Amino acid sequence: MAATHPEITTSVHPATLVEDDLVTSSAGRKVLAATRLATGFIFLWAFLDKTFGLHYSTGAAVAEGDPSLSWINGGTPSQGFLTFAAQGPFKEFFNSIAGVASDWLFMLGLLGIGVAVMLGIGLRISAVAGVIMMAMMWLAEWPLTQGSNNPLVDYHVIYALVLVLSAVLLAGDTWGLGRRWAKLPIVQRFTWLR
């Protein structure tokens, strides 16, 4: 709970905590919003690239202009990663879950997290989903293997922390729909939707 200062009233609705209550610097709120938007776009871009084969990271054949790796052309966005990139002690587990269901879960996760984070709504759910996704990808890549860039903190950890930070500090209120979202009766009733 934020500390209350009788001389400062930032919440329009005292019962509803807003970002201004937690991040008192206007510049801080803007930097946090920009960080949230950039992180949301990372997830949304991954979804778009893998869905439509936009020739960025959708596989090695992309360099040759082969659109067949796109999801809409029958590509398998998670199966290649789970089958060939997984290493370490959980390799067999990740190999075993590669399939159509993992493609759908992965792609829906990328889309849901990306859209919600960019809009600034449902940041708590997005943070939980994103942390789970990033933790699973971290475990699949197993950076503890010698030769990795950093055995503990890589981009998966940073993305997860930014998602949690955005949710905890209500980052969707600045340059997002977080305040409007918070006023919805269902969100006021089930605060975990915030």
Domain ranges of the chain: 19-47+78-193
Percent of the chain with pLDDT over 90: 75
132-146 pLDDT per residue, tens: 999 999 999 999 988
**What angle, 0 to 180 degrees and rounded to 10, lies between the N-to-C axes of helices 26-52 and 155-168?**
130
Mean pLDDT over 155-180 rounds to 97
Give the chain's end-to-end CA distance (angstroms, integer): 15
Q: d(Cα 65, Cα 174) in Å, to the nearest integer?
A: 39
Range in 4-13, 19-28, 120-129 with the lowest mean pLDDT: 4-13
At 8 the pLDDT is 42
Q: d(Cα 5, Cα 45) in Å, to the nearest integer?
A: 41
Q: Which of 176, 166, 49 is nearest to 110 (CA)?
A: 49
Confidence of residue 59 (pLDDT cuts 50, 70, 90): low
**pTM of the complete model:** 0.87
